[in-house]
Structure 1
């Protein structure tokens, strides 16, 4: 069963546009190169908050993604934004594309 990871972040400094630039340069390649990757998105939910939403083939892969994301944020962006909450759960309804994302290494 596919799993999703939803993470809520607080923007400490800078703008949401800067967050997007960092995500495109860092998180997108990191997640796309990870086993089980299906999709990734970022949405602004408040002036100073955003969510990161990713979908994975298995719970173990979603949990691994959470750890990778935490390491990446700690190394690259902890002065700009900080994790408030992280959730991983099985998808009960998934209407997205059903074929696994190709694994690139």
Structure 2
């Protein structure tokens, strides 16, 4: 018996879940500075805000992307990649200062 082809709806669901996991990781990474002690300096204020905005962007891009699974990596994937790199640079910058 030949293997059954995978249902396209499952692929869209897995893609949406991966975008939501990425959004959750932005929220967690942005919230970590809030658990530190000491005064609220620039890093402890900026990183949670940027993390929340990136999480919202990630969910919006994921919903947009879920409808177009047959297309190759487009604007959404490249935009999220650059946003992740920028957020990582912010974290490094504020942790060094």
* TM-score, normalised relative to structure 2: 0.34
* TM-score, normalised relative to structure 1: 0.32
- Which of the pair has the greater relative contact order for Cα pairs under 8 Å at 6+ separation? 1
Which has the larger Rg?
Answer: 2
